[in-house]
Amino acid sequence: MASHRKSRPTGSRVAGIRTPAFATAALTSVALLSQSANAAPEADDKPSLEEVEKKVDDLYRQAGSATEKYNGAKEKTAKQRKRVDTLLDDVAQRTQKLNEAREELGTFAAAQYRTGASAPDTATFLLADTPQDYFDQTQLMDRMTGRQKVAVDDYITQQSETMEKRQEAAESLETLTESQGDLKTAKATVQRKLADARELLSKLTAEEKARLAAIEKEKQQEAARKAAELARQQAEQQKEQEQEAAQQQDSGSSSAGSSSSAGSSSSSTAPDSSYATKADKALAFARAQIGKPYVWGATGPGSYDCSGLTQAAWKAAGVTLPRTTYDQVNAGTTVPLADAQPGDLVFFYDDVTHVGIYIGNGMMIHAPKPGTYVREESIYYDGESSIHSVVRPA
């Protein structure tokens, strides 16, 4: 007898449930879409070229900041080491004098021993832990000759001063150790940031590197345009000042006084002739360094970092600047950007971690960053917002 049971449709089980064939196909499609969705983030993990550029620029800036901290720590360490050496020399000299004073007291002790003196003597004094306390308790000073008293007074003075200097030297040594630790930390930070930047750049393809160079060229063109605009504004300002000066000469003494007061605000930041002379020397030195490599922490003569270059340039003009950008920004008079004159220092970024020397027409000479060379460049090389301030150092 034939069976009346219907044949079961082909299919598969999902979580113990029998599914029809068309549902199986649908599930397969969902699985494939899910795999594609999961794979998509992997393809998007690679940062865009613009993101790479920003990250590299940030790393170079962080390296620049760490470089200035390194420069400061290095300078502090050198000064502290010099101070420690001076203190140790002083302690050695005072210890020698203390030994001489002790030897002189020893001669009195020997003399008392030979004469059989029974009173408290200098021999007992030399064995005391605290000589002054010993005198207070035994009234030894009343029993000594004038020469003995002088010798004892000298010994006490030498001992006290020597102990003070030893303590001062110990504290200076501790400070020196801290400075050396700061120096080591700053150095490691610079090296780490530069290594991270190199790693990012090494992952770029030849095509990406070409595109990155094109982006950089566009930035330089915009920076040059801004520099030309500033040069035009400064030229117009200079022309107005010259016209005002000519009018003052033609107007007579009475009108000249009022005209002078009216124009004083626009010319108040103009440098005197002595500054121009010094600035010319600083700029001549800076120009002679063009083409030398940027090396972080370097102060010349073969390589420079940014503050090392400005310090060396103004030193050639007879002006001593501090080592770091943090201190150089306070070593002069702040002037408006529109009044910037050749020789002025242009500082960058909110944390004041870069500096260049202004040469006029919106341009400067600076040591930009690792992998570059000392060069002339627009002060807008990293955008107008990056400019922090302008300082006239002399």
Report, as residue numbers or ranges, the catalytic residues.
Answer: 306, 354, 366
The label of the residue with tokens 């003196």 reads 117
Structure tokens at 137: 């308790």
The count of other CB atoms within 10 Å of the CB of residue 390 is 23
| Cα(169)–Cα(174) distance, integer angstroms | 9
Helix or strand (DSSP H, E) at 347: strand 345-348
3 state SS for 353-384: CEEEEEEECCEEEECCCCCCECEEEECCCCCH
Nearest 5°: CA angle at 9, between 3 and 13?
125
Helix, strand and coil percent figures for the chain, each rounded to 5: 65, 10, 25
| Cα(390)–Cα(207) distance, integer angstroms | 39
Three-class DSSP category at 272? coil
